Structures are given as structure tokens and as C-alpha cells.
Amino acid sequence: MLSGSVVSQVIGFFSTIVIVFGFSNKDIANYGLYYSIVSILSMILSLRMENLIYRYSEKDESSNYASSVIIFSLLNALFIFCLLIVFGFISSSSLNFSYWLLVFWGGFSYSLYNVLINFLVRNNEENLIVILKIGRVIVELILVVIFTVIDNPIKYIMFSMSCGYFVSSLVCFIICDKYNFPSLNIILFYFKEWREVYIHSKFDFPASLCNAAVLHYPQLLLSLSGNVLLASLYFQITRFVGTPTLIVSQSIGLALKQHAQKEFDLYNKCENSIKTYSKYLYGKLLPLVFFGSSLITLTLLYIKFDYSLQNIFISFSLVLVFIIRFIFNVLSPVVYIYGLYKDNLKYQLFLLVSSCISLIFYSSSIYLILTYSLFVSLVYISYINFISGYSMETVNG
């Protein structure tokens, strides 16, 4: 599964290079804004209910539940889109109707992709996971190259990203012969599990939303404020460093969740899984992540920007956040295994508040980003200590 993530990131790297060198900083800033909106919207559409798929050990049950989440996400997308039309938000917006269609299609496609990833991981379908991840970036790369060569606007690059998620998910959905689409009655049955959905949505959904807001907050702020150069720099650092580290860490975290859940089901603890993955994380992965992130950042500054103190400080403060977040994403399955939804929400709210503190430096972009990076990093470190300490206390207790 990790190898599939690495290969997909290598292919996705070329797609990013085409975008970065084929479009202006203004276009890249707009693309970054679109990506942030789609990422947040995908969580709103599914309410992050795909995380509950690990409750179902039988393949048929997890398949039926995944289908119910997909249908719920689609209905939710249609409902919200129609609501925005009825209340005149889309018609009064400076963005045209086709852009909003692209946003909602992208949000649903991203949500569909996340549901399928969780379903395949739950059922140990490693080959299909590789197909899904690599297929997504191949579709995106092909479309990005085509649209860049024929000199189309950045909107078509946005389409390429969403199409990558949608087409790869659709193909994977079709070729997975064990994934039979359930009847309406079965889907409705899973919709009726309101208690678990309510408990999950009450704490985990707002926590996930806060986490997404923290992640995309600088991009949204810089793009909407019209700071094109820094918005472009932030997106490129995020795309070349933040996104690869995020996806690789989430892949490792999903693998940890699978092994830790099995251990927890048998022994009511997951100490061995946490220790094994922590040793691998701190002993091998982090040095590689730090070296690779630093090298990529310096290369990007040399080619696209310059080695000014402002660019160096901003870039490496963000790299620090991404590395600390890498550790958190690997260990975060402890939250779901032990049901620490309230604690997770508390820390995610702290993250959001700490990121908003940087607004006091709104007039100075460099201080805004540096303050954001400092406070968010401190909260992440505190959260990592809590997760590690809780798993050990539970075992000792």
C-alpha cells in the first residue's frame, strides 16, 4: 500500500511540475483556492462517515455501508447545490455557474475516492488500492498535459484534478467483483443507524472540518486577499511537500489503523501496533521526510522564486508544520480505535483557534504565516504527546 502511495506521488509530481511551469502565479493561486474549497466540501458532503467503515468486519457489511455513504454524499451535494441556487448565492457570486458545478463535482469525486480507499483498506484489497491511487494521478497527468499544451484556462486543470478522482474511483468500483451494489432496503438500513452516525458526526465531523480549515486557512486567506505571489508560493510548497507527506502519512496511518484495530479486537489494546509503527516512523521515515522536504523546497525557491529571507522563512516554517503533521497523521488512528472523539474535537478546535491568532498580523503576510506555523506546530506536538501517552496509560491501566 505504501509503495502505491510513493509511485502515485512520483507521477503526481510530474503533474504538479506541468501546472507550476505552465501557468502564471495568478492561475496557480486560483487553482490552490479551488483545491482548498473542494477538499473542505468533500468532508461536508460525507460528514466523514467513511471513518465508521472499520466497525464492520464482514466484507458485505462494509460494502453496503460504503454504498450508503456514497449515496448520502451525492444526495447531500445535490441538496446543498440546489439550496445555494434557491437562495441566490450562486447567481450573485462573481464566479459563474460552471465553476460552481465544477466545485461540487470535485467535492463529490474527492468524497467518493476517500470512501473507496477506506473500504479497500478495511478489506485488505491492496492491489485495488494501488490501482486506485496510481490510476487517479495518471488520469490527472494525461489531462493536465493535454490542456496545458492546447493552452486552455486554469479551469480545465481544475477539471483534470476532479476527473482523476472520479474516473479512478469509477473504474475501481467496476472491477472490484466483490463489491456488489446493495439493494435500496439494505442502504436504508445503514441510514437508520442514527445513534452511531450521530455520535460520530457530533464530534468527528466538526473535528475533521476544523482540521481541514487549519490546513487550508493560509491558502484561502492569501488567495482571497489578493496576495498572488505568496498564495502561489504557499500552494507550490503545499503541493510539492505538504500533499506528498500528507498522503504517505495517511497511507501509513490507515495501515496502522487496520493492524491496531485487529489487535484491539483481540486484546482490547493496540500497544504492539503503536510501538512497531512508531519505531518505523521515528527511526526511518522522519529523516527521509525531512531531507526530501528540504531539498524540494530549496530547489523550488531556486527555480521559481528566490532565496530572499521572506521566502526562506515562510517556506521552512511550513515544512516544519508538514513534518509535525506527518507524525500526527501516522498516529491519529488511536483516536478512532479508542473512541476519543471529544478529545479530538478539543484539540482540533485548539488548532483552529491557534491558526486564527495569526490574523493579528493580517497586514504582514510573512508574520501571518510564521505565527500560524509556530502556534499550529505547538498544538500538534501537544496532541501527539497526548495520543502517545493515552495508548501507554491504557495499557498500563
User: Do 204 and 352 sit in the same domain of this protein?
Assistant: yes
Q: Is the same domain home to 238 and 374?
A: yes
50 alpha-carbon distance from chain centroid: 13
Q: What residues contact residue 342 under an 8 Å CB cut-off, 6+ apart?
A: 203
* 173 and 212, same domain (yes or no): no
- The confidence band for 110, taking pLDDT boundaries of 50, 70 and 90, is very high
**Does residue 212 form part of some domain?**
yes
Rounded to whole angstroms, the Cα distance separating 375 from 320 reads 11
Would the pLDDT of 48 be above 50? yes
Range of the domain at 128: 1-192
The mean predicted confidence, pLDDT, of the chain is 80
Name the domain boundary from 175, 192, 209. 192
Residue 117 sits in the same domain as residue 172? yes
Least confident of 16-20, 174-178, 292-296: 174-178
Q: Is the pLDDT of residue 178 over 60?
A: no
Residues 23 and 137 in one domain: yes
Instruction: Assess if residue 397 is contained within a domain.
Output: no
Number of Cα atoms under 13 Å in the Cβ half of residue 361: 15
Please check whether residue 395 lies inside any domain of the structure. Answer: no
**319 vs 190, higher pLDDT:** 319
Distance (Å, whole) CA 252 – CA 226? 37
Q: Per-residue pLDDT tens for 225-246?
A: 777 888 888 888 888 888 778 7
How buried is residue 298: exposed, middle or buried, by Cβ count under 10 Å (0-12/13-18/19+)?
middle
Find the DSSP H helices in 47-153.
59-86, 89-92, 97-122, 126-149
Torsion of CA 46, 51, 56, 62, to 10 degrees: 40
CA dist., res. 17 & res. 306, Å (int): 17
Q: Are residues 203 and 167 in the same domain?
A: no
Q: Percent of the chain beyond pLDDT 70?
A: 87
Q: What is the mean pLDDT of residues 267-292?
A: 78
Same-domain check for residues 170 and 38: yes
Q: What confidence score (pLDDT) does residue 395 get?
A: 47
What is residue 132's predicted lDDT score, i.e. its pLDDT?
Answer: 84
Task: Write phi, then psi, for 24 (nearest 5 degrees).
Answer: -75, 165
Contact 200, 341 (CB under 8 A): yes
183 in any annotated domain: yes
- Angstrom CA distances, 256 to 7, 212, 376, stand at 20, 22, 24
Residue 3 has pLDDT above 70, yes or no: no
pLDDT at 111: 92
Verify that 291 and 148 share a domain, yes or no. no
Residues 42 and 8 in one domain: yes
Tens digit of each residue's pLDDT (9 = 90 or more) over 13-31: 788 888 888 888 888 888 8
**Number of domains into which the chain is organized:** 2
